[in-house]
Structures are given as structure tokens and as C-alpha cells.
């Protein structure tokens, strides 16, 4: 055995050396854990509030809402999902203002309606996540729009009395070229400006629509999530 080899082995077997190595490893692990918790906490605090629970709901104006309505500028829709990053839950919210559609209300009942959301313009706080969503989770080059079509009527009689109504309606939701039957809860408010404010959220399972939730080991996306919507409807 050469003197250099003997010296190296002697160095590595020194207790103080191993104590330092272990201490460094523990510090690095602690840094990752603490850093992840800080990041998760900051992300969750910064996540936009759900539309349906917004504290800034418009004032209600009682009256009839019968007529034809169009989805107007200022409307938004998107998704809310939980990621698990190194064991910490992180709320991710993606939204877009590219929302179009029409609604018919007859005899205080929601009788027809279709809303389209351009998924290719949905954004979060991460360009990398958005690129994955558009190219792999959903093939937006082929199926750009998510479409909800009303399949049955909804009673909006409370609008005439109080100016607001909550109704659950059946419909068909198409995402990624796959259509599923859903029930959608709508919070509808008739505003003093003469518009209708509609908000809500619907639970879904991504795989039902052929959407693969990514799992990269250190970060994974929950199989279930919500689509959220806040619509401004103008008459005509």
C-alpha cells in the first residue's frame, strides 16, 4: 500500500470527517424541505380566489332576465388543481379571458346555452407548466376549445324576486375531443348595470377527458381538479 493510499483511507476514517459529511447532507435535506414548504406556502397564498367564493360579488338587482344573452369581455374561465411537490400540496390556477358563448332565458328559465373556452391561451405562473398543458396534457393544436352545452333547463325564478339565483343544470362538457355528461352549479346575479354575472366551479377527473396528469417523481398532479368560470353576460 502506498503512503498516499494509506493517507487517503486514514482521512476518510476520521470521525470528524464523517460527522461533517453527515451534517452537510442533513443541512441540504433540511434546505430542500424548508425551501419547498416556503415555496408551497407562497404559491398557495398567491393563488387566485375561487370565482364562486369571491367576496367581490356584484350587487343584485331584482327583475326579469328573459332574453338572449352573450358572453362579454371580462369573462374568465380555467382550472384549479393541486400539485404535490416533494410532499407539499401546491394549488395551481390557470385562467384565460378568451371565453365566448350565448345563453337564452325564457319564462325565467335557462333554456339554451353554450360556452367555449380557448384552452390554448390558459396561463398560470409558469411558462413551462403552460407549455406542457397545451402540448401534452391537452393537444390544443387539435382541440383548442373546451365547450359546455346546456342539456336541460334551469329555474332562474329567484332573479325576479331577489336579483340572484343558484341553479344546477345538466350539460355536456367537451375537453380534448372527449365529451362527458356533467352537472354544473351556477351562481347568477342580475346587476344594476343590466348584465348577468355568472360564476361557479365543476369537479372533474382529468382521465375522463383523456388528459394525462403528469407525474415527474418530485412533482405530480392530482387526478381530480375543478374547472372554474366567471362570466359576464350582456343582453342581445
pLDDT, tens digit, for every residue of 164-196? Answer: 999 999 999 999 999 999 999 999 999 999 999
Residue 65 confidence (pLDDT) = 95
Of 219, 188, 187, 189, nearest in space to 201 by CA: 187
- The alpha carbon dihedral of 136, 140, 141, 146 has a sign of positive
- The residue assigned the cell 398557495 is 44
Of 14, 32, 138, 122, nearest in space to 85 by CA: 32
Residue 133 confidence (pLDDT) = 85
Angle at 105 between CA 147 and CA 179, to 5 degrees: 20
| Rg (the chain; Cα; Å) | 25
Confidence label for 219 from pLDDT (cuts 50, 70 and 90)? low
Q: Which of 48-52, 151-155, 229-233 has the lowest mean pLDDT?
A: 48-52
Of residues 31 and 49, the one with the higher pLDDT is 49
Considering the chain, what is the average pLDDT of its residues? 80
Q: Residues 162, 62: contact at Cβ < 8 Å?
A: yes
Amino acid at each position: 500500500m502506498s503512503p498516499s493510499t494509506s493517507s487517503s483511507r486514514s482521512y476518510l476514517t476520521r470521525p470528524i470527517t464523517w460527522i461533517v459529511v453527515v451534517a452537510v447532507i442533513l443541512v441540504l435535506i433540511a434546505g430542500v424541505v424548508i425551501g419547498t414548504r416556503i415555496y408551497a406556502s407562497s404559491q398557495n397564498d398567491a393563488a387566485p380566489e375561487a370565482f364562486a367564493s369571491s367576496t367581490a360579488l356584484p350587487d343584485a338587482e331584482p327583475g326579469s332576465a328573459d332574453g338572449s344573452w352573450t358572453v362579454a369581455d371580462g369573462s374568465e374561465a380555467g382550472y384549479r388543481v393541486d400539485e404535490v411537490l416533494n410532499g407539499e400540496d401546491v394549488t395551481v390556477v390557470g385562467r384565460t379571458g378568451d371565453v365566448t358563448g350565448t345563453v337564452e332565458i325564457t319564462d325565467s328559465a335557462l333554456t339554451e346555452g353554450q360556452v367555449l373556452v380557448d384552452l390554448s391561451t390558459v396561463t398560470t405562473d409558469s411558462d413551462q407548466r403552460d407549455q406542457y398543458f397545451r402540448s401534452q396534457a391537452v393537444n390544443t393544436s387539435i382541440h383548442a376549445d373546451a365547450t359546455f352545452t346546456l342539456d336541460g333547463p334551469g329555474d332562474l325564478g329567484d332573479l325576479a324576486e331577489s336579483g340572484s339565483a343558484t341553479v344546477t343544470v345538466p350539460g355536456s362538457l367537451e375537453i380534448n375531443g372527449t365529451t362527458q355528461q356533467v352537472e354544473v352549479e351556477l351562481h347568477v346575479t342580475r346587476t344594476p348595470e343590466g348584465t348577468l354575472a355568472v360564476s361557479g366551479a365543476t369537479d372533474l377527473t382529468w382521465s375522463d377527458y383523456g388528459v394525462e396528469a403528469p407525474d415527474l417523481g418530485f412533482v405530480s398532479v392530482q387526478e381530480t381538479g375543478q374547472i372554474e368560470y366567471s362570466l359576464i353576460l350582456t343582453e342581445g
